[in-house]
Amino acid sequence: MLAVIVGAFLLSGCGEELQITAHPVKNVENVKYEDGNLDVYCLTGICQFELSSNQDVDLNVTMHYSESRSFEKIEGVSVTGHGGSTVQMQGGKSFQLSLEANTPPSTIQVVDYYRN
Q: Which pLDDT belongs to residue 14?
A: 52
On average, the pLDDT of the chain sits at 86
Q: Which pLDDT belongs to residue 83?
A: 76
Residue 33 lies in a domain: yes
Distance between CA atoms of residues 60 and 10, nearest Å: 19
Residue 38 lies in a domain: yes
Distances (CA, A) of 52 to 36, 71, 74, 106: 14, 23, 22, 6
Residue 7 lies in a domain: no
pLDDT tens string 90-101: 889 999 999 999
Q: Which pLDDT belongs to residue 66?
A: 93
Phi/psi at 43 (nearest 5 deg)?
-65, -30
* Domains identified in the chain, total number: 1
Burial 60-88 (b: 16+ CB within 10 A, else e): ebbbbbeeeebbeebeebebebbbeebbe
Q: Which pLDDT belongs to residue 4?
A: 55
List the domain range (segments joined by +) for residue 87: 20-111
Distance between CA atoms of residues 98 and 71, nearest Å: 21
Residue 68 lies in a domain: yes
Q: Between β-strands 4-9 and 18-26, what pairing exists: parallel, antiparallel or unpaired?
A: antiparallel
Q: Which pLDDT belongs to residue 3?
A: 52
Residue 70 lies in a domain: yes
Residue 89 lies in a domain: yes
Residue 9 lies in a domain: no
More confident of the two residues 2 and 35: 35
Q: Which pLDDT belongs to residue 1?
A: 40
Position 6 pLDDT exceeds 80: no
